[in-house]
Amino acid sequence: MVAREMKLQWIVLALFMVLSKWQHCAAGDQLVPCYFIFGDSLADNGNNNNLQTLAKVDYAPYGVDFSHGPTGRFCNGRTIVDIIGTSNRPCNESCSSFFLFLVK
């Protein structure tokens, strides 16, 4: 009984290894050469108000969902970090950047 289970495990393992080898084979050309992902957009959406750049988002229509207008962040609303930061009161230095922007 144990030998039969061991044989079945080896067969399943061998089948898994063969099938996993095929997963990387795809026909066609690459659509993009590579992806650059810096951080998580759900947590950090950037802010470049203090930088010398042409890419600014501190004017309408950016930030239409914020109650105080555009904040210079590359998003249209609060992130999950903003929600967590404003829900854990009282907070001082641990608040999110959106909450600190509203306090000023």
Contact 47, 39 (CB under 8 A): no
Overall pTM surpassing 0.85 (yes/no): no
Q: Indicate the burial class of 48 (C-beta count within 10 angstroms; 0-12, 13-18, 19 or more).
A: middle
Q: Dump pLDDT digits (tens) for 51-92.
A: 788 877 777 777 777 777 777 777 777 777 677 666 655 544
The ranges assigned to domains in the chain are: 54-104
